[in-house]
């Protein structure tokens, strides 16, 4: 156990390998191709390959082949094993030192005490704005939704505004916002944070006060759709449908009966929903 534990700690002791592992944790449970990892962290391909090999040998990440691509994901059992080894060996199982970190269970959101939810993407011009508008409309007043971009665009895409208006969703206050606005001292404290594009999930985010729960709900960028005008409009419609389905599943969660770990599993599962209408 001590050799295995030392290997895990040594693998994460290198700052660049730690950055790689943290990226995979942000994208969990999704797998990420090696090329995207190298691009996101500005590693040379051979350097990324070497770091991935060390983390895999330490039992901290998994590797799977899909077609011609190798996909890497964080190995949570391996990570938990590392913590178990640290706590049981170093703390001698003293409950006052080693008891698992817990937090209060979530309560049901109400119009008087709504949950604050932040959707993040890169440009904050399409997907995250759609999610903000949908949750504010369909959340029954139990949620306050916001959105922001790591590199925000000048404003919402006209296709987004037209689509929402066709759905009778209010767009009067919808605008592109910088993520930094939500890390300011006077910003609302978030309960949930969801990344809806891979680029934003690959980037380091601020340390959020209150330890909000987070998940990656990535989906294809409708802005990049190619083809006829009808095909491009369909891409925005499909993004809207997918986000609406995920948001409806999120709003229907029995928050009052879920502990933090169970809730996290449900949030991750919602991010795997791929059907839309």
Give CA–CA dist 131/234, Å, rounded. 17
* End-to-end Cα distance, the chain: 50
Q: Which of 90, 121, 175, 232 is catalytic?
A: 121
User: CA nearest 25: which of 60, 58, 50?
Assistant: 60
Q: Are 195 and 217 in contact (CB under 8 A)?
A: yes
* Known active-site residue 232: no
Angle of the 15-27 helix axis to the 34-41 helix axis, nearest 10: 120
**Catalytic one of 98, 175, 205, 232:** 205
Helix, strand, coil fractions of the chain, as percent rounded to 5? 50, 15, 35
For residue 87, the number of C-alpha atoms closer than 13 Å in the C-beta half-sphere is 15
- Of 91, 98, 175, 197, the catalytic one is 197
Active-site residue 197, yes or no? Answer: yes
Length of the chain in terms of residues written = 277
Round to whole Å and give the CA distance between 242 and 228: 21
Distance CA 201, CA 246 (A): 18
Q: How many Å apart are CA 207 and CA 216, to the nearest integer?
A: 17
Residue 175 designated active-site: no
For 12, 165, 265, the CA distances from 73, given in Å and listed in that order, are: 15, 39, 16
Residues classed as catalytic: 121, 197, 205
């Amino acid at each position: 156990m001590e050799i295995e534990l030392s290997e895990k700690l040594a693998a994460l002791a290198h700052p660049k390998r730690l950055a790689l592992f943290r990226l995979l944790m942000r994208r969990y449970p999704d797998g990420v191709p090696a090329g995207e990892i190298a691009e996101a962290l500005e590693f040379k391909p051979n350097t990324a390959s070497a770091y991935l090999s060390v983390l895999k040998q330490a039992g901290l990440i998994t590797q799977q082949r899909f077609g011609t691509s190798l996909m890497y994901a964080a190995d949570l059992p391996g990570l938990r094993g590392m913590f178990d080894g640290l706590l049981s060996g170093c703390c001698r199982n003293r409950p006052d030192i080693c008891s698992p970190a817990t937090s209060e269970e979530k309560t049901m959101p109400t119009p008087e005490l709504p949950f604050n939810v932040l959707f993040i993407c890169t440009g904050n011009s399409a997907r995250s704005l759609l999610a903000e508008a949908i949750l504010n409309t369909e959340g029954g007043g139990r949620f306050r939704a916001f959105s922001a971009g790591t590199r925000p665009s000048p404003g919402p895409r006209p296709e987004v505004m037209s689509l929402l208006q066709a759905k009778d969703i209010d767009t009067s206050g919808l605008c592109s916002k910088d993520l930094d606005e939500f890390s300011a001292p006077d910003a609302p404290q978030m309960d949930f944070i969801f990344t809806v594009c891979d680029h934003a999930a690959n980037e380091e985010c601020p340390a959020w006060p209150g330890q909000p729960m987070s998940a990656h709900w990535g989906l294809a960028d409708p802005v990049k759709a190619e083809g006829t005008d009808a095909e491009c409009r369909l891409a925005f419609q499909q993004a809207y449908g997918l986000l609406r389905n995920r948001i409806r599943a999120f709003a229907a969660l029995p928050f009052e009966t879920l502990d933090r770990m169970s809730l996290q599993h449900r949030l991750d599962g919602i991010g795997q929903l791929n059907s839309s209408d």
